[in-house]
Structure 1
Amino acid sequence: MADFQTSTHRAKWIFTPEELVGKYKAANQRAIQTLEKYGATLMEVDVDGTISYPEPQVIAKDNADKHSRPKPISIEEEQFMRVFYENKLQEVCKNFHFPHKVQATALIYFKRFYLQWSVMQHHPKNIMLTCIYAACKIEENHVSAEELGKGISQDHQMILNNEMIVYQSLEFDLIVYAPYRSIEGFIDDMEEFCGINDDRLQILQNLLHAAKMEVDKIMLTDAPLLFPPGQLALAALRGANQVHKVVDFERYLRSILSRQSSEHTVSELIEFLNAIDSWARKYKFPSDKDLKHINRKLKSCWGLSSHDEYAIPYLEIVTFNLVPFCFVLMPNFDWFSEVRSGIEIEAQVEEELKRSATCTFSY
């Protein structure tokens, strides 16, 4: 059985705030260096994962007027673009009626990808859709790239072209742990802890629903890159419990710590939950004015003219024709059939795909 404590998720993809800021700065700086060298930043990606740097632009020459050169977007502007497309990712998954595990896995893939790259180098719309497709594969929610593209009126070949670069950027660490399963485990545990009988089970179901809504918000912050899924789940449950008042939450925390081998005290755990709450409170969605300004700068960085594919009016770039779409699962669908030749997903991944996928008390 897969175990969060021994996973690559815990070993490689949980950072300190300082480490996270450093990664964002480094990715932004690499894109700026590309802009200075080539006069543009948008990478060409092949299906085998190879990338090509932009063709040098005239404005990149030494004698070019420095004021005519594209201005790179800032780290804060990059964050705004990631936030916008993470919201779009949730919207797409909900319109396709994908389960929470697909949405959460896709979000984590998207977040990890942009620890390695800048939005100046890879269009976040393309990466967002590719992350959804990859998440459907790894979570065994069988859907082809063609079906996904058709459902949102996008070219499915773009998804396939970016598939390998996404896997490479994730270092093939495709098994991720999301807080939704942990919430369900804690709710089951609360039933016994509170001694709730069948007549009052709806109270816990209401708490479960509210906690999942809280997690949806938390997943849009940097918290999934800073805290393990169990702590994210507890923070969401605590927030929901403040409204529904089902349990004495601090007493419940003491109970679960007394029954588990935890390296943390109750005070430390509460401090972590407070920090997660703080990230949720600091969450800021960009205004239309901000997005339009950033989009103009991005088009310039990408070296695109008004006639190019991405250089279309702002609202057309960042919205999708979300066709209401319910998938019929296809038992005989070979979900590895569309992986490009040369992609080898490690045997460990295949084994872990068969897991029961529980991480109830991973805090």
Structure 2
Amino acid sequence: MKPLRILAIGSSGSTHVAGRVCCFAERGHHVSLLTDMVVGLEGVTELTPSAPPGQDQWIATAARLLGRLVRRDLSGPADMARLMLDFRRKLRQADADIVHIHFAYSTWAWMAAALGARPLVVSIMGGDILFKEQGSPTPRGIALTKQLLGHADLITSKSNFLIGVLDDLGGYGEKAIRVVWGVDPEVFKPADGTALRAAKGIPAEAKVILSPKILTPFYNIHILVEAMAKIVASVPEAHLVLTEYGADPAYRAQLERRISELGLTQAVTFVGHVTHEQMPAFYSMADVAVGIPASDGLPQTLLEAMACGVPSVIGPLDRYGEIVRHEESALLSQLDPASLADAVLRLLQNEKLYNHIATRGRTIVEAKANFPREADRVEQAYRHLSAAGKTRYRPRLGILKDVALYWLRW
């Protein structure tokens, strides 16, 4: 079939976005990514809107003249207008059959809606619509996200729970389909982690507890550190491995101090930034994975651990029930050190439970969270939406005005 021209909008620094766009490039489609930074994704044309000196200079000149009249510095609005024009230029340059936004709460996403980009697919991720649970959304930002969702031709959601949130926001669930995305079982699979343990100085006999989450307070890694005192008291060979993707330096320093106070320095290893490509090896090195944020959609790290045959301890969120069951395919724990320690110890000390959860987890991923199969479904949706042909961009001035006001914080 004829390759599609796909324009994705999202952060190239997101492993989720990078994996999705590269997948469609590998399938032979012409993929562009409108993003905040260029990282060199193979097979993908990365487009970064900018406002370099000299480009659309007439706007800067007009702003200076007007600024003199009103006695106000208008260089900020001028730069914003130049950036918006370059965004429009990049949008047209892509000449896309499909525009696909990954993460709804962002200025570039709203700009696509403001310029009337269609056919338009929006993939929500959780934090972009869980306004009461995550981030610090502004009233205008929430309103712009709702306008984007209303403009979308199709919305993909990782869970039925998030589709319910879409309905609560304004009935947008009726245009949504559940696409878990998931992981590729041929990439994330059980392997021998002996060499990696040796490379990281972790004893071969250690019972490794892995935190694959972003190293920030949101993910409650301090609770896991506190739990380690009880875990090590029962299983002296227990060893905590902390990945440092997106690490908050102040939070890392706080954790280091507490680890020292608890006498756990020899039982904890910080392993620095771990790339997505390295993660299968880190899961395979682990005995247990832990992820306990207070708010979540459907965590990718849970699916990755399951695919690698590593049991997970997760928080007590009902929404996880769409993919796992307590004591069947994961262990759920309350968010306090004692409860978390008990859950981890159950897995380390109960071989029958451990093996059952490990086996069941891998089976679930293969059946329900298989990335290549989910990509097939999205590709079919692309072709269905693009069958009507490309639509001329029809700017929506009301949304454009709100984007500008949000940007300028007016």
Query: TM-score w.r.t. structure 2 length?
Result: 0.24
Larger Rg: 2
Structure holding more helix per residue: 1
Structure holding more strand per residue: 2
Query: TM-score w.r.t. structure 1 length?
Result: 0.27
